[in-house]
Chains A and B, each alone.
Chain A
Amino acid sequence: MFEAVAFYLFAFLTIAMFFIVVTTSQALYALTALAAGMIFISAFFFILGADFLGAVQIIVYTGAVMALYAFGMMFFDTTREVKEKQGNKYIIVGLSTLAAILVVVIFAAPMMSENIVALYPAIDGVGNTQAVGLVLFTKYLIPFELAAIMLLVAMVAGIVLAGKKMDLSITLMHEAEIEEEKNKKVLS
């Protein structure tokens, strides 16, 4: 009973938040609604007994990804209203429904066959975090290391891409210097 109440409450909240994200015309509303939706998503992980995944969801998504987006939004002009694509609404709704049904079929097909066996069954007597660690550092060690390398590459790429001309501060330069920099950029 308690589980059902929690599920429906958080389902409603998550859907409402994500609906705001895709419909609002203010980028800041979208950012905050997305952060709230991420936290509500982690509630499902806690209900499902995946405690470590829920904690990672809060730390990585709401802590790191959202902070990164908030940092990135400082670069962009986000105060103005966001224009939207004026497409055929029926095509969009139809394609979305079709894709969603496709996802359900993909997920439901193995269940219909009813012969799924647990490859790495949950271990009795240990908590979720410990069980995750046991599987992650034995069966999934190579993907784990590859993910680490991928994150390193992404970090270097982010620094290289965003860090260009970071030593120049437009607020501390005179108008003439800024114009000079602009001309230099055009010429190069």
Chain B
Amino acid sequence: MEIGLNHYLVLSTILFAIGLVGVMRRKNLLLLFFATEILLNAVNVAFAAISHYYGDLTGQMFAFFVIAIAASEVAVGLGLLIVWYKRNGSIDLDALTTMKG
């Protein structure tokens, strides 16, 4: 059986759904970051597949920029997380609710 573009798009959708479930059910901020990495990777697969099946390199370029953004997001996010952990001793989302509302 020939693997077509739809196979890759379905796979990308499944991975994206897994990432979304992770974003919604995780309470720990570090594991929430992991879930966002899954989301970015799922989109990268779709970009590479479209780039291959249309013979166009633009998809791969976008995948590169997505990877660059993911790397910088991790650097800044982890720095913020470390600061927050030093201050509060916890990285649970519940500890972030400081306002009474």
Contact = CB atoms under 8 A, between A and B. Distances in A.
Interface residues of A, number: 81
A162 B85 contact: no
Contact of A7 (B7, B35, B68): B7
A11, A22, A120 interface centre (most CB from chain B within 10 Å): A22
B83 to A, nearest CB: 5
A182 to B, nearest CB: 11
A75 B55 contact: no
Q: Give the interface size class of chain B.
A: 35 or more
A112 interface: no
Given A48-B52, A57-B67, A68-B78, A82 B24 contact: no
Given A31-B34, A50-B48, A121-B56, A158 B78 contact: yes
A161 B48 CA distance: 34
A151 B72 contact: yes
Contacts of A99: 16-17, 20
A116 B76 CA distance: 37
B8, B14, B19, B60 interface centre (most CB from chain A within 10 Å): B60
A65 B25 contact: no
A82 B16 CA distance: 22
Contacts of B11: 11, 14-15, 44
A143 B55 CA distance: 21
Given A83-B27, A151-B72, A154-B76, 4 more contacts: A61-B41, A61-B67, A65-B70, A164-B86
Interface of A: 3-4, 7, 11, 14-15, 18-19, 21-22, 27, 30-31, 34, 37-38, 41, 44-45, 48-50, 52-53, 56-57, 60-61, 64-65, 68-69, 72-73, 75-76, 78, 82-85, 87, 92-93, 95-97, 99-101, 103-104, 107-108, 111, 116, 118-122, 131-132, 135-136, 140, 143, 147, 150-151, 153-155, 157-162, 164-165
25 contacts: A15-B11, A21-B38, A22-B31, A27-B28, A41-B44, A48-B48, A48-B49, A50-B51, A50-B52, A60-B67, A64-B71, A69-B30, A82-B28, A84-B25, A85-B25, A95-B24, A100-B13, A103-B16, A120-B56, A132-B57, A132-B64, A136-B61, A147-B68, A158-B75, A164-B83
